[in-house]
């Protein structure tokens, strides 16, 4: 047992807003899924929206279970999803077909890389799984669509061709990148135990310990809400899903709560 409080004030007051936004986004995802014969761009938008919604839902569940550090790891994931979605929409506006192709090609390049790294281990467990020659052929086909520099960027940074930092800057979210993405990386990689040490030993910075936890959860939940809202708002406006008032309502409630706390 640690002595860290299960819920900070930030969790008690801010988590309901994120939970409500998850519900709105879930309704939008359900609407998109029911649409008959969606075009390719719509399928990719649905994938991004689903990923954002499910990640945010997991964040809510982890916070409700008092697992703040684990929730922070997923806040980092949600942030990356939001800036990647922004990058996808920019590519989509320029050339829808090319944007979708880049997503597929980048995913396949990563799969091929993973297979080679494992020396194709486990392929025999899946009937009909592609072998080395088939994957080599697929890789050559992908390479034929890009210049050498573009192909290198796809391999390194995925479909956007730019780093997470540059995606964040492009989306106007560089401050969140510096504060959230970099700091919360420690929880993803599991090599920084500072917060666990603080939780288990109240004597460490005892006079500021509660403030540190409050600030941590406040920043994390703010970043999670903003990231999910950016995805949900763009999906709603782009597909005319009629969730304008619900989105505006939860944004107003959250803003009012923030003003009341000052």
The model's pLDDT over 153-199, given as tens digits with 9 standing for 90+, comes to 999 999 999 999 999 999 999 998 888 877 766 666 665 666 666 56
Position 193 scores a pLDDT of 60
User: Rounded distance, CA 229 to CA 249, Å?
Assistant: 12
Residue 252, phi then psi, degrees to nearest 5: -65, -45
Closest by Cα among 70, 49, 50 to 59: 70
Alpha helices in the chain, H assignment, sequence order:
9-34, 40-64, 68-94, 96-117, 132-143, 148-157, 164-170, 174-176, 182-189, 194-200, 209-239, 244-261
Question: Is the distance from CB of 206 to CB of 256 less than 8 angstroms?
Answer: no
* For range 63-71, the mean pLDDT: 90
What is the domain range of residue 224? Answer: 9-94+162-261
Q: Which long-range contacts link 87-93 to residues 24+ away (Cβ below 8 Å)?
A: 87/159, 87/160, 87/162, 87/167, 87/170, 87/171, 88/44, 88/48, 88/159, 88/160, 89/234, 89/238, 90/170, 91/159, 91/160, 92/41, 92/44
The CB density around residue 208, as the number of other CB atoms within 10 Å, is 11
Which of 67-71, 204-208, 223-227 has the lowest average pLDDT? 204-208
44 domain-assigned: yes
- Supply the Cα-derived Rg of the chain in whole angstroms: 21
User: Rounded distance, CA 7 to CA 62, Å?
Assistant: 11
Which has the higher per-residue pLDDT, 218 or 256? 218
For residue 122, CA distances in Å to 72, 127, 128, 131 come to: 32, 11, 12, 11
Q: pTM for the whole thing?
A: 0.86
* For range 232-245, the mean pLDDT: 96
User: Rounded distance, CA 54 to CA 60, Å?
Assistant: 10
Indicate if the pLDDT at residue 107 is higher than 70.
Answer: yes
Q: Residue 166 contacts by C-beta under 8 Å, 6 or more apart in sequence? A: none
124 domain-assigned: no
121 domain-assigned: no
138 domain-assigned: no
Indicate if the pLDDT at residue 45 is higher than 50.
Answer: yes
Confidence class for position 216, pLDDT limits 50, 70, 90: confident
Place of tokens 């504060």: 179
Which has the higher per-residue pLDDT, 147 or 115? 147
Closest by Cα among 78, 24, 50 to 220: 78
169 domain-assigned: yes
Domain count, the chain: 1
Indicate if the pLDDT at residue 72 is higher than 50.
Answer: yes
Q: Residue 27 contacts by C-beta under 8 Å, 6 or more apart in sequence? A: 243
119 domain-assigned: no
The CB density around residue 65, as the number of other CB atoms within 10 Å, is 11
Express as a percent the part of the chain with pLDDT over 70: 85
**Tens-digit pLDDT profile for residues 16-32:** 999 999 999 999 999 99
Indicate if the pLDDT at residue 124 is higher than 80.
Answer: no
Confidence class for position 258, pLDDT limits 50, 70, 90: low
237 domain-assigned: yes
Confidence class for position 259, pLDDT limits 50, 70, 90: low
Indicate if the pLDDT at residue 115 is higher than 60.
Answer: yes
């Amino acid at each position: 047992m640690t002595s860290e409080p299960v819920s900070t004030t930030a969790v008690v007051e801010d988590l309901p807003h994120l939970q409500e936004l998850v519900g709105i986004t879930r309704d939008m995802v359900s609407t998109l899924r029911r649409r008959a014969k969606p075009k390719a761009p719509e399928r990719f938008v649905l994938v991004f929206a689903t990923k954002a919604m499910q990640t945010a839902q997991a964040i809510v569940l982890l916070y409700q279970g008092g697992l703040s550090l684990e929730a922070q790891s997923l806040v980092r994931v949600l942030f990356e999803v939001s800036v990647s979605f922004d990058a996808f929409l920019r590519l989509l506006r320029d050339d829808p077909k090319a944007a979708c192709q880049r997503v597929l090609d980048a995913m396949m390049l990563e799969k091929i890389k993973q297979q080679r790294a494992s020396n194709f281990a486990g392929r025999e467990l899946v009937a009909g799984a592609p072998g080395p020659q088939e994957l080599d052929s697929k890789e050559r086909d992908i390479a034929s669509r890009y210049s050498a520099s573009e192909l290198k960027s796809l391999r390194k940074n995925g479909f956007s061709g730019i780093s997470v930092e540059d995606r964040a800057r492009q989306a106007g979210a560089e401050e969140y990148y510096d504060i959230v993405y970099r700091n919360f990386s420690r929880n993803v990689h599991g090599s920084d135990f500072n917060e666990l040490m603080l939780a288990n030993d109240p004597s460490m910075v005892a006079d500021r310990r509660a403030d540190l936890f409050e600030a941590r959860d406040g920043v994390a939940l703010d970043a999670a809400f903003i990231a999910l809202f950016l995805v949900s708002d763009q999906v709603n406006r782009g597909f005319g899903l009629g969730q304008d008032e619900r989105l505006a309502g939860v944004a107003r409630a959250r803003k009012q709560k923030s003003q009341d706390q000052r």
